[in-house]
Amino acid sequence: MRSAAESFAPELSAARRLVIGIGEFAVSNRPGDVIVTHALGSCIAVCIFDPRAGVAGMLHFLLPESSINPERARQQPAVFADTGIPLLFEAAYQHGFSRKRAIVTLVGGAEMTQAAGSSFGTGRRNALAAKNVLWRAGVFVSGQEIGGTGARTLYLSVSDGRMEVHNGQTYKEL
Amino acid sequence: MRILIVDDSAMMRAMIKRVIKLADVPVESILEASNGREGLELLQKHDVQLLLTDINMPVMTGAEMLREIAANERWRGLSRVIISTDGSTVRREEAADLDVRCYLEKPFSPEVLRDVLNELADNELAETD
Amino acid sequence: MSSTNSRTTNLPKLTNPEAASAMFDAVRTVAEQSFFAVAEPADDRSFGVAASKVPRWLVATVVFEQGALAGSVSCTLPEKLANGLFDAFTGRDPAEAAPVATLVHDLVGEFSNMVCGAWLTRVESSRTFTLSHPSVEPALTPAAAGDLRLVAAIDDLPVAVDLRLQPLRRVNGAAQA
């Protein structure tokens, strides 16, 4: 783990930041862009990168299945793994992204404890839901940084697919 | 590369086949058998480069099949992988004695099998160069 | 080898909390790794409530032999869960035609095979074992509990895993429960 001072985050001042929140996604093919998401707790960020097409994307979803709230899924499909992940890929395909070349990383899925010290296991459910959707789509997961108990901030560089996960005072590259 | 999958579960064979196709490993054909006896019959008829086999199967177990393969010079170059629920140290040691290159314990994620296939395919290419 | 002595020696080990914990760990690992399904512990009361809402079940049984230990592991799952596990394992597109029952039975049998094998490896990692080809039967109610019963929830649906210890019979050379 490195300290925050050594990360590539300071370079962001010269880059275009695409900040996404819960239930949002972004795709870019502009070198120099950095896709960022904050407060990644039990949610999962699905990060995709095609090194040949130079396309990267990130989805920050909250819940596993749209069937638990079809109305919300209609209005905010990116909130759910099963509706959000296909949207992310569809958007990436518009930029020449190839599923066969996809490098896919999952980040998040922390167990955020409730007041009574228990958790609903949402982080675990979200991680499994993401893997299920990706397997159904015929996409392998290349790496993951999931679990734990703390919220994360995640940066994805569109230029080279490099990722940094920040957790408190330290960060690590994926 | 011609691959033979030996497992008494048709759905496990289907899952393994799906991983093979998605892994983008150069494959000429994929053969299937539901027990060790059928596996040996297919090996007699076809030139196979990679064998993926379960252990516990009716008629003839994977271990029995692998012992016959190890005893036959014809199959010296056959790459052998065990995919089994049996993760015991005894079985793993037996596998090493039977020239098994990789021991994959069930349950496994698709990525784990994909990595095994890629490594074996790279080795296969290196050996034919 | 005396089957009575073996049974007496092994029962305390297999019905103790560590064995039950190993069984749940096996179920969870199988559910997560191969089926992307969430497995959570349950108690008899919550299992009973959830089970009362299940119209049809599948029971998959695997007979095992590991040294002096012999018996069977049965996994009882709602048919709805079996179909869900089938889709997850195979990556089936919901738009595809539904699978025939024999394929779902095969899949449930493989689930039970993996749970039994994963449990045996945890209980005694230095010993190899043999497993029969699974037998799968539909049922309208869960079967009676075995020597050890684990109840759990997989994807919020009730599941029972029953261990039965018994003397091993051999019929035509094959292990029979």
Question: Hey, which bits of C7-156 come out as E strands?
Answer: 39-41, 57-66, 69-78, 130-131, 135-139, 148-154
Residue A166 token pair: 């920040």
CB of A131 within 8 Å of any CB in chain C?
yes
Query: Which residues of C are less than 8 Å from B107 in CB distance?
Result: 29-30, 33-35, 114, 118
Pairwise CA distance, residues A54 & A37, whole Å = 20
B111: nearest CA partner in chain C: C33
* Domains located in chain A, CATH noted: 2-173 (3.30.1330.200)
Residues of chain B scoring pLDDT < 70: 124-129
| pLDDT value, residue A2 | 46
Q: Which of A135, A136, A142, A144 to mutate to test the interface with B (most CBs of B within 10 A)?
A: A135
How far from the centroid of its chain's Cα atoms is residue A90's Cα? 16
Residue C98 token pair: 């539904």
Residues of C with CB under 8 A from a CB of B: 29-30, 33-35, 86, 89-91, 103, 106-107, 109-110, 113-114, 116-118, 120-121, 124-133, 174
pLDDT average, residue stretch A4-27: 75
A135: nearest CA partner in chain B: B110
Residue ranges per structural domain of chain C: 3-169
Query: Which residues of A are less than 8 Å from B24 in CB distance?
Result: 100
| pLDDT value, residue A52 | 96
Q: Do C88 and A138 touch (CB under 8 A)?
A: no
For residue B101, give the amino acid letter.
Answer: R
Q: Note if A43 is an active site residue.
A: yes
| pLDDT value, residue C95 | 85
Percent of chain A having pLDDT more than 70? 87
Measure CB to CB from residue A124 to each of C38, C91, C92 and give the nearest one: C38
- ∠ Cα C51 C56 C62 (to 5°): 90
Residue ranges per structural domain of chain B: 2-120
pLDDT average, residue stretch A69-80: 96
How far from the centroid of its chain's Cα atoms is residue C175's Cα? 17
| pLDDT value, residue B46 | 96
CB of A12 within 8 Å of any CB in chain B?
no
C91: nearest CA partner in chain A: A136
B residues 4..63 contacting A (CB < 8 A): 18, 22-24
Q: Which helix (H) or strand (E) holds C4?
A: helix C3-14
Give the predicted TM-score (pTM) of the model. 0.90
| pLDDT value, residue C18 | 79
Pairwise CA distance, residues B28 & C156, whole Å = 42
> Residue C69 in contact with residue C6, Cβ under 8 Å?
yes
| pLDDT value, residue C2 | 22
Query: Which residues of B are less than 8 Å from C118 in CB distance?
Result: 85, 87, 106-107
| pLDDT value, residue C67 | 84
| pLDDT value, residue B125 | 66
Q: Do A131 and B22 touch (CB under 8 A)?
A: no
Per 3-state DSSP, chain A is made up of helix, strand and coil in percentages (nearest 5) of: 30, 35, 40
B2-120 carries CATH number 3.40.50.2300: yes
| pLDDT value, residue B37 | 98
Q: Do A125 and C38 touch (CB under 8 A)?
A: yes
CB of B114 within 8 Å of any CB in chain A?
yes
pLDDT tens for A51-61 read: 999 999 999 99
Q: Do A140 and B24 touch (CB under 8 A)?
A: no
Domain with residues C3-169, CATH architecture: 3-Layer(aba) Sandwich (3.40)
Q: Do B109 and A131 touch (CB under 8 A)?
A: yes
Strand order in the sheet with A103-108: A24-28, A55-61, A44-50, A103-108, A143-146
How far from the centroid of its chain's Cα atoms is residue A117's Cα? 26
Residue A8: band (very low, low, confident or very high) from pLDDT cuts 50, 70, 90: low
Residues of chain C scoring pLDDT < 50: 1-14
Distances (CA, A) of B40 to A53, B44, B61, B67, C58: 45, 6, 11, 11, 33
Select the more confidently predicted residue: A26 or A150. Answer: A26
Residue C174 CB: number of other CB atoms within 10 A? 13
| pLDDT value, residue A7 | 56
| pLDDT value, residue B55 | 96
Pairwise CA distance, residues C27 & C118, whole Å = 8
Interface pTM (ipTM) of the complex? 0.92
CB of B72 within 8 Å of any CB in chain C?
no
Select the more confidently predicted residue: B124 or A91. Answer: A91
